[in-house]
Structure 1
């Protein structure tokens, strides 16, 4: 698949985080490969590469089956809406910019924020699905959702830090 393998690989990596499944402790494990693949997409690598210590890891079969069963339902619904359009959004330059956005979202996924991994993972899944199907409309909607998610999460983190500093007597009251 060469350079076309980035989006499916990113989609597969984001799925365990995008679905509300009880798979504990996956955020950091998923976040690292997402960061590596996203960085490679951003830098314009011709095909994705993962270190062996990551590539040789896998999900438990039971967990993977849960993910597949859950995603098939959603993919069937998506098939009715997603189609090739606005292909300029899937150009190599656009994909490199999307790689940067994926990298930022993957970093957020890897952070130990309770329930903070689901929204960015959903945005990654939507955008990567748009890339796979070459649907620029879906990509743009996913990017808008990702930007909103990042603004909301950054605001929440800033508020928590401010409250913590005030509580410690360091910040303004």
Structure 2
């Protein structure tokens, strides 16, 4: 029986120790959903202008681990040991949970076999989308970050339909990034000829 992610996060609040929670503690309790949560959090941060380049590089970690079919992401010890004060964690969950509840009215478990058969393909798509976040194209970070959020929500709620929609949008996003890159190179060559 599938438990919505918003309910899982609320359960985490009840289990959280009073002082601090570590990133490792959160990831351990989310198990397979931790891929979706990690991608979602990184994609939200990537929307902040100036941070998308750094976040684009970070996406290589979960993407590689999906390509090699890990059950859940393994982060460096320095990241998993990072502690958050429990009140700060509670505030963050209180902000995210209502948004997730709204998304859960549309996104629900469908086509679960998609996740087993496409994990490597999704990892490659996330890796390529992360690379496009690194490109210095004005506002070029918005569409890839949005697409990664859709894929992350599909992973959180085990929705194969939304996953395939996200992969189709990834193809569109990558095509637009390739066209923008080609246009920039062609423009530089044209300026050199002047």
Under a length normalisation based on structure 2, what TM-score does the superposition of the two structures give?
Answer: 0.71
Aligned pairs for 1:4-153 (under 5 A) are 4-18=33-47, 23-52=48-77, 69=95, 74-91=99-116, 93-153=117-177
CA displacement at 1:143 relative to structure 2: 1.0
Residues 114 and 55 of structure 1, relative CA distance in 2, 3 Å threshold: farther
Give the match's secondary structure for 1:159. Answer: helix
Q: How many residues align?
A: 161
Q: 1:9, CA displacement in angstroms?
A: 1.2
Taking the aligned partners of 2:34 and 2:92, their CA distance within structure 1 comes to 23
Q: Which protein shows a greater Rg? A: 2
Q: Distance in 2 between matches of 1:73 and 1:164?
A: 47
Q: Which residue of 2 aligns with 1:161?
A: 185
2:46–2:56 CA contact under 8 A, matched in 1: no
TM-score (norm 1): 0.78
Stretches of structure 1 that go unaligned for 5 or more consecutive residues are none
Task: Mark the runs of 5 or more structure 2 residues left unpaired by the alignment.
Answer: 1-29
